[in-house]
Amino acid sequence: MASAFAASTDDCGHSGATQEWDTREWLSLEDPSEHRTWLFDATFLTSTWRCIYGAGCPGIDSEPAPELALGCCSHGVYLSGDNDVAHVRAMIAELDEETWQLRCDPAEALWQDSDGWWRSRVVSGACIFANRADHPGGAGCAFHLLADRTGRRPMDTKPEVCWQAPLRREDHETVTGHVYTMVREWEHRDWGGPDTDVSWWCTSELSAHSGSQPVFRALRDELTEICGSQIYAELRAQLDVRVATARLLPHPAVRRRSRQAV
C-alpha cells in the first residue's frame, strides 16, 4: 500500500493564484482491494479542529446568533441518494414529541426540488429537524438527540452529509476507470463561494481549532465508515507518526492568524 506526502498548490489541490498560507499537504494511499487511490487532506486531519456547537458557534446566517443554537442547520440538508432517503425516513419514524420539537406528518418533512434532490424542509429559518433553544429536550438535531436517547452514535441516526461534515468525500474517475477519492474538509467555497448563503464556516475559524486531539483520531468512526477499516488503519498509522515527530503543516486558519500577528 504505497503512500506519499505532497504539498498542493492551494487548499484544495487546484492550480492558480493563491497565498502561501493556503498550501496543504495530502496523503496518498493505494487501495489494495480496488482500482482506487485515496487522497487525504493531511493538513486538516492532523489539525485540532472541533465542532464548537454550543460553545460559541455563531451559526451560518448573515448575522452571528449563537443564542439561537442553530449551528449549521439553517438551510436544511440535501440527502445523498435513495439509501439516505430511506434511512432518514426510518429514523423519522422513531422520533416523538420529546426528541423532535417541530414534529409533523413524516411525509411532509422531506421534499424533492426541481433537480430531483430530496431535502429537509426549512421552517422558521432552520431545518425542520433542528430543535430550537427553547425545546425542553434541548437544542440541536432531533436525530442527534435520538441517538443519545437510544445509545447509538449520531452517525447511525443522522443524514449522511450531517454526520460526515466537516469531512467531504469526492470521487473522480479517470477515462481508464481508476478512481481518485479525495477526503478533505468542507470549505466555505464548497457552499457556493462569493455567492453562497452560508456566511460563516467553522473549519476556517481559529476558534474552532481548539480540540484536545487531531481530527483523524477524533473522527475515527466517521473516517472508518468513509474509507473502510483497512485504509483507516494505514491512514492513522502514518498520521500518528507525523504527529509524534511534529512534522506537521499547520492548518491555514492557524497560519493565517500567525501571519497577521507578525
175 and 235 share one domain: yes
Q: Residue 185 burial (CB < 10 Å; 0-12/13-18/19+)?
A: buried
pLDDT for 3 beyond 70: no
What are the tens digits of pLDDT across the range 139-177? Answer: 999 999 999 999 999 999 999 999 999 999 999 999 999
* pLDDT of the residue at 8: 47
Cell, residue 253: 486558519
Alpha helices in the chain (DSSP H): 42-45, 82-92, 106-109, 142-150, 154-157, 160-164, 215-218, 220-227, 229-244, 252-261
Q: Residue 203 burial (CB < 10 Å; 0-12/13-18/19+)?
A: buried
81 and 138 share one domain: yes
pLDDT for 246 beyond 50: yes
Q: From CA 188, how far away is CA 69, in angstroms rounded?
A: 20
pLDDT for 193 beyond 90: no
Among the candidates 105, 130, 164, a domain finishes at: 164
The pTM is what? 0.88
φ, ψ (nearest 5 deg) of residue 130: -90, 110
pLDDT for 188 beyond 90: no
For the chain, give the percent of residues with pLDDT over 70.
89
* pLDDT of the residue at 135: 95
151 and 217 share one domain: no
Q: Please, what is the average pLDDT of the chain?
A: 90
* pLDDT of the residue at 189: 83
pLDDT for 2 beyond 80: no
Mean pLDDT of 248-252: 92
Mean pLDDT of 185-213: 86
Query: Which residue, among 95, 78, 157, has the nearest Cα to 131 in the 3D structure?
Result: 95
Q: From CA 109, how far away is CA 7, in angstroms rounded?
A: 44
79 and 138 share one domain: yes
Structural domain for 197, as ranges:
3-50+166-261
Among the candidates 140, 164, 188, a domain finishes at: 164
Among the candidates 164, 179, 209, a domain finishes at: 164
* pLDDT of the residue at 1: 55
129 and 101 share one domain: yes
Mean pLDDT of 212-225: 98
pLDDT tier for residue 199 given thresholds of 50, 70 and 90: confident
pLDDT for 43 beyond 50: yes
Q: From CA 124, how far away is CA 75, in angstroms rounded?
A: 10
- Chain centroid, CA 58 distance in Å: 17
Q: What is the DSSP letter of 78?
A: B
pLDDT for 137 beyond 50: yes
Mean pLDDT of 125-146: 96
